[in-house]
Amino acid sequence: MATLALCIPAFNAENYLPRLLGSAARQRIPFDEIWVYNDCSQDDTAVVAAGFGANVVNGDINRGCSYGKNQLARMTRCDWIHFHDADDDLTPDFTERVHDWIGTCSKEYQVLLLNFNYIDFKTGTLLGTAGHNAEEMHSDALRYAITHKIVNFGVYERSAFLNAGGFDLDENVLYNEDNAFHQRLAKNGLQFDYLPEVTCVNYRYSASMSVSNELKCARANFHVLEKTVKTHGEVYPAELSMQLWNCATLLGSAQDWAYVQRALSLIRRLNDPALPGGNRLFRLTAAVSPFFAIWFREKMIRLFKSHLRRHD
């Protein structure tokens, strides 16, 4: 049987690790290895992880979760890796379902995307699921990675992961590292599959990195798209253009006009750019003056629907 490692990047995670590591301990098929990268936590993260029997790697300075994941991938000797954030959870049949997939599909695919329940931690409300489309990712993994948000729920063949270079450590993509990572894997020819059964729980926290740093996430998304425009702009001009329009609109909602200009400049570099979505007036205005369309739309929202911008 192929071996499977659970790899957890952790920073000040002493309050979350007991839940996750407890879930790991209750799997019907045990993980072959469990690793925790302690990213210079100021609490007892390392002590808690070791208490559950995990292999603990202590960082020398705080470098972020992508660096930690890359380090754990080099440390483990398992055939397959599952990275899992310390503050999320596993279903009891996680390893059983993953091993079933490995036994039948691993010769054809090197990446298995997982389904998860996205749950508000405070209220317990189900906010959504991954809902990926396996046929689309089978047809063209990179197109799928460009046009869909793929978050940190997957299983990866270790050798293919290492050969592809792992997570991108460029600080510009820090707040959009999952998109950068999956696009990198697809660019390196890795094939993606999808397990539709729910195997993970993704909790939404009001103070999470993405919720608290929406502007940084939007800028990081721009830099991810910028890299792919450079490598595959001629192959996917319409797909990249549409994502850049979405990015520019989000940047406009934060009135980050310099980055809006950068996103629109990238769109102009594409040979067959797509026009944005939205109402007819916005599309017509964008065809004549893209920047004015985004600027005017944002001014109208702030004038007539100011409640949509209460986060400012």
Q: Which one-letter DSSP state was computed for residue 297?
A: H
The reply to whether 77 and 223 lie within a common domain is no
Same domain, 39 and 154: yes
174 and 255, same domain (yes or no):
no
Say yes or no: 140 and 154 in one domain. Answer: yes
Spell out the per-residue pLDDT of the chain, length 312, in tens: 899 999 999 999 999 999 999 999 999 999 999 999 999 999 999 999 999 999 999 999 999 999 999 999 999 999 999 999 999 999 999 999 999 999 999 999 999 999 999 999 999 999 999 999 999 999 999 999 999 999 989 999 999 999 999 999 999 999 999 999 999 999 999 999 999 999 999 999 876 555 458 899 999 999 999 999 999 999 999 999 999 999 999 999 999 999 999 999 999 999 877 778 888 888 889 989 999 999 999 999 998 888 877 654
**187 and 244 both lie in a single domain:** no
Query: Could you tell me if 23 and 170 lie in one domain?
Result: yes
What range does the domain containing 279 cover? 213-309
* Count of the separate structural domains present in the chain: 2
- Does residue 190 share a domain with residue 44? yes
Largest CA distance in the chain: 62
What the block records as the tokens of 143 is: 């197109």
**Spatial CB neighbours of 113, under 8 Å, sequence gap ≥ 6:** 130, 132, 137, 150, 153, 154, 192, 193, 194, 195
Give the residue from 158, 178, 210 where a domain finishes.
Answer: 210
